[in-house]
Structure 1
Amino acid sequence: MCYKTILVQADAADATSSCATLAAQIAITEQAHLVGVSMSGVDQMIYQCNTAAPGVVVLPADLTTLTTRADASLAAFAKRVEHLGVGSFETRRIDGLPDLELLMQARYADLLVLRQAGAPEQTPYMPDSALQYVILHCGMPVLVVPYAGGPGEMGRHPLLAWNGSPEAARAIHAALPLLKRARQVTLAVFNGEETWGAHGELPGADMATFLARHGVQVEVVQRQTREPVGEALLSLASDIQADLLVMGCYGHSRLREIILGGATRDIMRSMTLPVLMAH
């Protein structure tokens, strides 16, 4: 697998932030085409107006503020990635519903780069639920960038969360272009013997062999823990100074995650490093 088209969130707070910078770094390394998208919120505005006052016609002039703001974000994004040295890029303004529009755009991308939900300056036109919806339904890997902290470098030391699930396998497959360039890769297995049939005789060994055939040498770390796996992953990432976490997401149903909690929910809420996710 390789990344040849990368779709990145480029709203006001993201146009010159970590999202744009990390996406640009990957695009340069992979010689990929970069697509910056900004959500204007036009559809939501029309819907809200019709709900509050049925029959009221929303004129194009009423939407100028929204479209102008989105266009300004895209202009800042274009200036930023050009300065960083991206050779091929374009910008697209999304006037429709963010989740549905991003799903459509994702069909023609190898990787999505989106920002962690819940940022203080989060655009109201990219709600928290939209990020979860896109990750679950886009069918592509999504690199989620934490809103706190600077861009820095990414991919020198990835941490792979391996639990033997199809979702985790898809995430690791999707991360191969990054893993092949890494200086050090750690494969983490927590409570590996608790799930029957998830691993071979030695948890993590089969995946390590698979990665070795791709030229990726990994260190397998097995740990037993009583704390939530999401918290244990973030703690391990800090201990080994990992700069990227690769994991499958929503291996359980979203309802179970909401009621009982889960690694995906914990990581999405408290991430301290970029996380490449696949469902």
Structure 2
Amino acid sequence: MAYKSLLTVAASPNEVLGTVTAAARIALTMDAHLDALALGVDRTQVGYSYVGSGAVVIAAAMDRAENEARETEAALNAAIGAQTPALRSAVESLVTQLGALTDVVASRARYSDLVVLPLPYGKDRGVEDEALTEAALFEGMAPVLIIPPAGMRTPEPKRIILAWNQSREALVAARRAMPFLKRADSVQIVVVDPPTHGPERSDPGGLLCQYLVRHGVRAEVSILAKTLPRVSEVLARHIRDTDADLLVMGAYGHSRFREAILGGATRDMLEHSEIPVFLAH
């Protein structure tokens, strides 16, 4: 079991090398093809411009977006050129309006086994970076591997933390991450403050562990108390304590609006994670 078609998307030339390097190493390890998409994004809202200035605004915005697409494509080509010649890859560039970005990304992500993207939050990231991640996850229906600025230690993570809360999203993430899980030396199914009521109250994570073991995964269950205010903080501390290489988790168990306003484990982990995060919805 392996990923055979990988996709990475960039809307700016920033932090391209680390993401492409991680994607390329995974592609080489799993004998996969890597597609890279460079986007120039038109962020204007012509409806708010002065009367008669619409054409000028559109022309200037498109020129800027086309320049960004060329710069990003050049950065992607340079990053791919820095990899081994054995890598099978292709680079494409497009210009799109911000409102159409979701459809553009989703149309590519649907035919990819794994989408590799940079951390969507940070001082150098824009609104389009979060939109890229959500487009691949929701409309593209693809698992997404988020690469932090520090990069990815190994294309075959040896110590994996699988965050488990009995949700549909967490189960989908576990299934989609199987190529990584089967190659790992250890997979910890981490349950934080399990509920006292529910189908798994007597054996939290037990059925998932059984399922993974039957697939040849070296899995075990770890039950953690919620000793910090947020679940994400408990997970982050456990990741540091175990020196984990990868976190697997379900994405956005609540509505995206609620996650954005109130926060949530997904957003918290993406904002502060020091290791790659595998997401699926």
TM-score range, shorter chain: 0.7 to 0.9
Answer yes or no: is the 8 Å Cα contact 2:46–2:54 preserved in 1.
no
- In 1, distance between residues paired with 2:62 and 2:138? 36
Q: Which residue of 2 aligns with 1:109?
A: 112
Secondary structure of the corresponding residue to residue 219 of structure 1: strand
Give 1:133-212 correspondences, 5 Å limit.
133-147=135-149, 149-154=150-155, 155-194=157-196, 196-197=198-199, 199=200, 201-212=202-213
Matched, 1:242 2:209: no
Give the conservation status (yes or no) of the 8 Å contact 1:9–1:20. Answer: no
**Structure 1 equivalent of residue 25 of structure 2:** 25
Aligned to 2:219: 218
Q: Is the 8 A contact 1:6 1:112 kept in 2?
A: yes
Distance 1:22 1:195, change over 3 A: farther
Question: Residue 44 of structure 1 contacts residue 125 of structure 1 at CA under 8 Å; is this kept in 2?
Answer: no
In the alignment, is the contact (CA less than 8 A) between 1:141 and 1:174 conserved in 2? yes
Q: Cα distance 1:125–1:101, how it changes in 2: closer, same or farther (>3 A)?
A: farther
Select 2:102's aligned residue among 84, 99, 105: 99
Task: Identify the residue that residue 39 of structure 1 maps to in structure 2.
Answer: 39
**Cα distance in 1, alignment partners of residues 195 and 260 from structure 2:** 25
For the residues of structure 2 that align with 1:22 and 1:33, how far apart are their CA atoms?
13
CA distance in 1, matches of 2:132, 2:207: 35
User: Cα distance 1:150–1:131, how it changes in 2: closer, same or farther (>3 A)?
Assistant: closer
More displaced stretch, 199-208 vs 56-65? 56-65
Tell me by how many angstroms 1:193 deviates: 2.7
Change (3 A) 1:194 1:20: farther
Q: Distance in 1 between matches of 2:218 and 2:62?
A: 58
Q: Distance in 2 between matches of 1:217 and 1:23?
A: 24
Unpaired runs of 5+ in structure 2? none
Deviation of the 1:129 alpha carbon = 4.0
Cα distance, 1:249 vs structure 2: 1.3
Q: Distance in 1 between matches of 2:33 and 2:46?
A: 35
Name the TM-score, length of structure 1 as normaliser. 0.87
Is 1:6 the counterpart of 2:9? The answer is no
Identity %: 32
Task: Name 1:77's counterpart in structure 2.
Answer: 79
- Pairs within 5 Å for 1:30-69: 30-41=30-41, 43-44=42-43, 51=49, 53-56=53-56, 58=59, 62-63=63-64, 65-69=67-71
User: Which piece of structure 1 moves more, 185-194 or 92-101?
Assistant: 92-101
Residue type of the partner of 1:212?
A: V
Alpha-carbon offset, residue 210 of structure 1: 0.3
Verify: 1:121 aligned to 2:121, yes or no: no
Q: CA deviation at 1:239?
A: 0.5
Contact 2:113 2:142 in 1 (8 A): yes
Residue type matched to 1:8 in 2? T
RMSD of Structure 2 on Structure 1 (CA): 2.5
Q: Does the 8 Å CA contact 1:246/1:275 hold for their aligned counterparts?
A: yes
Task: Give the residue type in structure 2 aligned to 1:55.
Answer: A
Structure 1 portions without partners, runs of 5+: none
Amino acid at match of 1:73: A
Distance change in 2, residues 1:255/1:226 (3 Å) = farther
Contact 2:5 / 2:33 at 8 angstroms: preserved in 1? yes
Q: Distance in 2 between matches of 1:48 and 1:75?
A: 33
The amino acid across from 1:117 in the alignment is P
> 1:80: how far off?
2.3
- 1:178-214 superposed Cα distances (whole Å, 9 cap, x missing partner): 11111121110111234523x2631111111100111
Q: 3-state SS of the aligned residue for 1:158?
A: strand
The one-character-per-residue Cα deviations of 1:27-53 (angstroms, maximum 9, x if unpaired) are 111111101111122x336x5699462
How many residue pairs get aligned? The number is 271
Give the equivalent residue in structure 1 for 2:232.
230
Q: Which residue of 2 aligns with 1:90?
A: 90
> Aligned equivalents of 1:182 and 1:208: distance in 2?
14
Question: Structure 1 residues 125, 266: closer, same or farther in 2, change over 3 A?
Answer: closer
